[in-house]
A and B are shown apart, each in its own frame.
Chain A
Amino acid sequence: MALFDHNPWPLRLERRQKPSAAMRICSSPLAALAMLATGLLVFAALGKDPVAAFRVFFVEPVSSVYGLGELLLKATPLMLCALGLAVCYRANVWNIGAEGQLTLGAIAGGGVGLFCGAALGHWAQPAVLAAGVLGGMAWAAIPAFLRSRFRTSEIFVSLMLVYIAQLLLSYLVHGPWRDPAGQNFPQSQPLPDNVLLPPLLEGTRVNVGFIIALLLAALSWWFGTATAAGFRMRVGGLAPAAAAYAGISERRNIWLALMISGGAAGLAGICEVAGPIGMLQPVVSPGYGFAAIIVAFVGRLHPLGVVLASLLMSALYLGGESAQMELQLPASVSGLFQGALLFYLLAAELFIGFRLRRVRRAPAAPPASA
């Protein structure tokens, strides 16, 4: 006992004999509830009626067919990015630049759509989507190459590439790709009609990207549980030393993780550009690539969890917009909630492996020797 750090609380964290299955399922819903409670407190502190604010934030946006469509529409890029990131994080590859890979997907897919879209006829949509995937992969290849070749941290490289990608897009729509008939607005020409992804359902804006995202979720489930490559990546993430001993190639895991997540993020980008936006403009994403980091964690890096978490996160985005219009709250309130959600989740995850125990103090618990 004398060697322990002095603990001023009457409680002590104790490692569980084995991880709690109940907490594994409950940690995310618990975190969501804690975030909700925080949200109500914030609303009350701002002098809004919490119940009315709750209605405006969470209920009204999804109480119409159009609103539900918007929920799925905004969940699509979040789900796509987060599915890829979940694969990465399970392999212990910290790609935090999904936003940049999304932007490059938008540029690559949008470019193909703008310049070859009309000539491609029926093949325009698949070609544009493929270009988006390749664009995202190309951008993710940079951190993959630098990490596997020079051991450069993919965290920094992927993040720096976000800024570079955004500046590149800004250059294109202010310069060479600007619509000459666009009254000097920094935007490209509208994409040709045969490139655009039509709505799945009359009266909504949700497009085929959502179906692709769901298919990818199923695919990534299968990849993670039933394939050797998925298994190798999990081992590489959980026990790098054991993986190296077993002859699992770290380099291959890094490349695979970054190609999957880069491609998925690129697809998210082109689905936005060929979907609801319909052209290239300086900003193609309100931070979906960053919010997807939270989605991946809240989904506990599991495909099904990611699907559910992306719906929750999408509801936060919609709620933020609705609160901005009806309660004159700033849209940034949803950013605040997103961050808080991740904090609560990380804290809740603790109780999967640990539990709180009351400590009965020995009469003279020695303070830490200084």
Chain B
Amino acid sequence: MNLATWVTIAASAVGAATPLLFAALGELVTERAGVLNLGVEGMMLVGAMSGFAVGVTSGSLWLAYLAAAMAGILIALLFGVLTLSLQTNQVATGLALTLFGVGLSAFAGRSFVGLPIHPLPALHIPLLTGLPLIGPLLFHYDLLVYLSLILCALIAWVLKRTRVGLRLRAVGESPAMAHALGEPVTRIRYLAVLFGGAMSGIAGAYLSTSLTPMWTEGMSAGRGWIALALVVFGTWKPWRVLAGAYLFGTVTVLQLYAQGLGVHVPSEFLSMLPYAATIVVLVVICRDPKTILLNQPASLGRSFHPGY
């Protein structure tokens, strides 16, 4: 194992972390508004499929990401109408969204299975990219990787420092109080849900057009659920979610390089790692009840009907 291999591993970990980061940041915003959308996996798959389909037919990856975000928004709208306007149970509706998204993407994407697509090119910044070590580690990713980092900073700032963020958090902590103060609770929650949908859609498209440039049924393989767990792991804070996403990116990638690292374990056990790691980090986070109690939006998962 030489240094160059480690740099390669680190760089591919960043790639694997990016879809997790997009989806988890979107869900973080949704949950900070008090809405638990368990449909991330379904929204990611719909985004992955529509992004891939548009990318292949139009040849433009930017259109692909746009389409994926739109598809994510549309399907999140369905969730919003059911949970916010029709007051359905958020857990059950989220599960329904995942099951529906799996079926819809498999059905609508069947003619795109096996087609090739060109992923986004990695940036080439004069001078910087050419630097030894630092170049490939920091300055040789595609634009979406940098976009995800910018978004993370932006979301952290908006939530903590701006009026918009304050209103969003108020709605998530105490919708009744926010409502009494004249906040349009339902509308804010809708916007948060749609934002989550767009981010999940982009996460899916990154998966199908850049990370593994192809479309197959159910290709997200639980990443949507891992993203949901990351929000808990990051205690609803953007920077911690970022750290979690990179940790999981590393775990995912290590399993691919494990044979080269001299670990002789059947591949199935290595593939279990991200799932097992999810359980372990959740247990670690939940062990102290105060961690959850102090950080979880107080009204997470509860319906709010302004009419009474």
Chain B interface, number of residues (Cβ within 8 angstroms) = 57
Complex interface: chain B residues within 8 A of A368 (CB): 182, 184, 187
CB distance from A209 to the nearest CB of B (A): 24
> CA separation between A148 and B79, bound complex, in Å?
30
- Whether, in the assembled complex, A223 has its beta carbon less than 8 Å from a beta carbon of chain B, the answer is no
**Who on chain A is nearest to B185 by CB?**
A5
- Whether, in the assembled complex, A167 has its beta carbon less than 8 Å from a beta carbon of chain B, the answer is yes
Residue contact B279 to A157, C-beta cutoff 8 Å: yes
Please encode chain A, from 338 to 370, with 1 for each CB lying within 8 Å of some chain B CB and 0 for all others. 111011001101100010000000000000111
- Whether, in the assembled complex, B241 has its beta carbon less than 8 Å from a beta carbon of chain A, the answer is no
**Who on chain B is nearest to A145 by CB?**
B283
Complex interface: chain A residues within 8 A of B217 (CB): 332
> CA separation between A293 and B95, bound complex, in Å?
8
In B247-292, the 8 Å CB interface with A consists of 266, 268-269, 271-272, 275-276, 278-279, 282-283, 286-287, 289, 292
- Whether, in the assembled complex, A175 has its beta carbon less than 8 Å from a beta carbon of chain B, the answer is yes
**Who on chain A is nearest to B87 by CB?**
A350
Please encode chain B, from 283 to 308, with 1 for each CB lying within 8 Å of some chain A CB and 0 for all others. 10011010010000000000001111
> CA separation between A170 and B269, bound complex, in Å?
10
Please encode chain B, from 76 to 113, with 1 for each CB lying within 8 Å of some chain A CB and 0 for all others. 00100010011111011101110111111011001000
In A90-146, the 8 Å CB interface with B consists of 94, 96, 142, 146
**Who on chain B is nearest to A12 by CB?**
B307
Complex interface: chain A residues within 8 A of B229 (CB): 156, 160
Instruction: Among B38, B101, B179, B286, point to the contact of A151 (Cβ < 8 A).
Output: B286
Instruction: Among A171, A350, A369, point to the contact of B86 (Cβ < 8 A).
Output: A350
Residue contact A5 to B95, C-beta cutoff 8 Å: no
- Whether, in the assembled complex, B215 has its beta carbon less than 8 Å from a beta carbon of chain A, the answer is no
> CA separation between A330 and B97, bound complex, in Å?
20
> CA separation between A340 and B103, bound complex, in Å?
9
> CA separation between A297 and B292, bound complex, in Å?
29
Chain A interface, number of residues (Cβ within 8 angstroms) = 55
**Who on chain B is nearest to A94 by CB?**
B91
Complex interface: chain A residues within 8 A of B101 (CB): 339
> CA separation between A168 and B266, bound complex, in Å?
10
- Whether, in the assembled complex, A3 has its beta carbon less than 8 Å from a beta carbon of chain B, the answer is yes
> CA separation between A94 and B36, bound complex, in Å?
14
> CA separation between A338 and B186, bound complex, in Å?
28
CB distance from A74 to the nearest CB of B (A): 17
> CA separation between A193 and B221, bound complex, in Å?
36
Residue contact A168 to B286, C-beta cutoff 8 Å: no
CB distance from A93 to the nearest CB of B (A): 11
Instruction: Among A175, A294, A338, A350, point to the contact of B88 (Cβ < 8 A).
Output: A350
- Whether, in the assembled complex, A192 has its beta carbon less than 8 Å from a beta carbon of chain B, the answer is no
Please encode chain A, from 300 to 343, with 1 for each CB lying within 8 Å of some chain B CB and 0 for all others. 00000000000000000000000000000010111111111011
In A2-26, the 8 Å CB interface with B consists of 3-6, 12-15
Complex interface: chain A residues within 8 A of B42 (CB): 339
Residue contact B283 to A150, C-beta cutoff 8 Å: yes
Given A164-B272, A330-B106, A4:B306 Cβ within 8 A = yes
- Whether, in the assembled complex, B232 has its beta carbon less than 8 Å from a beta carbon of chain A, the answer is yes
Complex interface: chain B residues within 8 A of A339 (CB): 42, 96-97, 99-104
> CA separation between A346 and B97, bound complex, in Å?
11
Instruction: Among B87, B179, B221, B276, point to the contact of A13 (Cβ < 8 A).
Output: B87
Residue contact B179 to A3, C-beta cutoff 8 Å: yes
Complex interface: chain A residues within 8 A of B271 (CB): 167
**Who on chain B is nearest to A332 by CB?**
B106
Residue contact A153 to B286, C-beta cutoff 8 Å: yes
Which 6 residue pairs spanning A and B have beta carbons closest together? A339-B100, A335-B103, A332-B106, A171-B268, A368-B184, A336-B103
Instruction: Provide a sorted-by-A list of 19 A–B residue pairs whose CB atoms are within 8 angstroms.
Output: A3-B179, A5-B184, A5-B187, A13-B305, A146-B279, A150-B287, A153-B282, A156-B225, A156-B282, A157-B282, A160-B222, A160-B279, A163-B275, A167-B272, A335-B103, A339-B42, A340-B100, A343-B100, A354-B87
20 further interface pairs, Cβ-Cβ under 8 Å (given A167-B272, A333-B103, A338-B100): A5-B306, A13-B85, A13-B87, A13-B307, A142-B279, A151-B289, A151-B292, A156-B229, A156-B282, A159-B225, A160-B278, A164-B272, A164-B275, A171-B268, A335-B99, A338-B99, A339-B100, A343-B93, A346-B82, A346-B86
